[in-house]
Amino acid sequence: MSAAAASPHRAATQAGAEVLAAGGSAMDAAVAINAMLTVVYPHMCGLAGDLFLLYRDASDGRVWALNGSGPAPRLATREAFRERGLSGVPARGPLPVTVPGAVASWAAGLERFGRLPLDELLAPAARAAEEGIEVTDRMAGWIAHNAADLAADPVLRGRYLDGGGRPIAGGTMVRQPDVARALRRIMAGGADELYRGALADEIDEAFRAAGGLLRREDLAAFEPEWVEPVRHAHRGLEVLTTPPNSQGVTALMMLNALTVLEPGPPGTAGHVEALIAAKRFAFAERDRHVADPRFGAVPVDALLSTDRARAALAGGADPAPARSSAGDTVYLCTVDGDGNACSLIESIYYGFGSCFVAGETGLLFHNRGHYFSLDDAHANRLEPGKRPLHTLMASMALEDGELRLVFGCMGADGQAQTTVQMLERYLAGGGVADVVSLPRILHGRFVPEDDPDALTIEAPFGDEVIGALRERGHEPVVVGEHDERLGHAHAIELRPDGTLDAASDPRSDGAAIVLD
């Protein structure tokens, strides 16, 4: 059987392809890709981020899920934020930082499904950080967009702004020796170096000095969790995704709603309207019920009831607008020569996360705690040791028990919406190139300043469809073909004849590689 990899940056996909060519497993390749992405796509992921993944073990066909999202520090109480005069968890700085789960998750995944050592898989990323990377035009756009926040951190200011405080341009070479040192420390000491070693001590010291809440004890207590994926039958496929505190169930609720609504084919005005209605229903349900299941049961079976969707959609009135999220993420997928497959998503949440680098560690921390609520009655309320509701989700689809599609996307609230649109294109007969590249919509935010109820639609939908939506009372924001706000989607198809096809989204700087 051949092997394949896809990710949002060509250098990362190439790193994974080299691992696969050397006989590495799908998990090995996924870790190598993710590590490289922390260097070449630092605005969207990092060593101090979170991840979720699905892994299909070809030896028995079982699909495993790994929850690699970290909890709130033990000092992170709602009262602690209120005492600071805050009505919410801020977006930037040390306060929104929760325990980063990615590196521990790499180690957990490799322990169960890896063939190659962690140090070998991280070495290409460390070399790239030392030698320098070329900033892509897309990355330069994110630097410019976040320039004010980058300027607040001395490390980020020196790396991404020029001597006059202006954002660097695409084509600039950027070296990250501090990130290389962090990678090499993890290569030498394993994940324990970050969670229980000297690096953990330095992180503790940096957060204390900056008035943050993360401590060494929080890092030492963290372990990623192997869990069962959520499964849902839809039009001849069994769709699998990551369970709560991931928002994966949101996409499945949308699929349920589409079954009730019976829209026209993808690309039509009727289908767009159905997507919007399905999204409003599913996101309202998400915000009412989905949170860390360790702090209260999440009624997944009830949420996926077709009767529940039918009753809600028959009500006639749209639910209250969902609490929209914004975030930037990397999704990647791999399949090895034995048929093992990995669907992985990793993130530092906002562009450049918290914009807080912990001292001289080289670690840019995520700001995932910003998504917690300080409302005492909210399902996703902040509590010490609790994992926040995550927009991160990864997916697979099976047919008659056989894996057919490994897929996912970045884009915060857009993740569930794009997942549904990818599946709809696939079920309409599209190949993976169509699945990732055909025009899409987004309802809600991509970046924080977006209108949470806006409809963004790509121009290739055509004047007829866009005009019909306007006639029906919508006010679509029309963007060009392959606009990055519609997310980066990637996919690998496992065909019934045993061959593979893979595609990377043209909205990213990515590549897909199939090895024969």
- Co-location of 202 and 309 in the same domain: no
Please write the tens of the pLDDT for every residue from 206-246: 999 999 999 999 999 999 999 999 999 999 999 999 999 99
CATH number (domain holding residue 282): 1.10.246.130
Give me the domain span that covers residue 334.
3-53+61-226+328-371
- For residue 222 the two structure tokens come to 């963290």
Describe the crossing of helices 177-189 and 198-210 by its angle, rounded to 10 degrees.
140
> Given 371, 404, 435, which residue is the final one in a domain?
371
Whether 378 maps to a domain, the answer reads no
- Co-location of 210 and 350 in the same domain: yes
Please write the tens of the pLDDT for every residue from 325-378: 556 799 999 999 999 999 999 999 999 999 999 999 999 999 999 999 999 999
Whether 381 maps to a domain, the answer reads no
Whether 389 maps to a domain, the answer reads no
- Co-location of 289 and 425 in the same domain: yes
What is the model's pLDDT at position 319?
60
- Co-location of 94 and 25 in the same domain: yes
- For residue 235 the two structure tokens come to 């039009």
- Co-location of 310 and 363 in the same domain: no
What is the model's pLDDT at position 452?
77
Describe the crossing of helices 118-131 and 177-189 by its angle, rounded to 10 degrees.
170
What is the model's pLDDT at position 324?
58
Q: For the chain, which ranges sit under pLDDT 50?
A: 317
What is the model's pLDDT at position 112?
98
- Co-location of 85 and 38 in the same domain: yes
- Co-location of 367 and 474 in the same domain: no
Catalytically active residues, by annotation: 329
> Given 338, 371, 404, which residue is the final one in a domain?
371
Do 35 and 18 form a contact (C-beta atoms < 8 A)?
no
- Co-location of 309 and 241 in the same domain: yes
- Co-location of 315 and 445 in the same domain: yes
The answer, as to whether pTM is greater than 0.85, is: yes
- Indicate the number of domains in the chain: 2
Whether 400 maps to a domain, the answer reads no
Do 256 and 136 form a contact (C-beta atoms < 8 A)?
no
| Helix, strand and coil in the chain, % to nearest 5 | 40, 20, 40
What contacts 60, CB < 8 A, 6 or more positions away?
A: none
Cα separation of 369 and 447, whole Å? 17
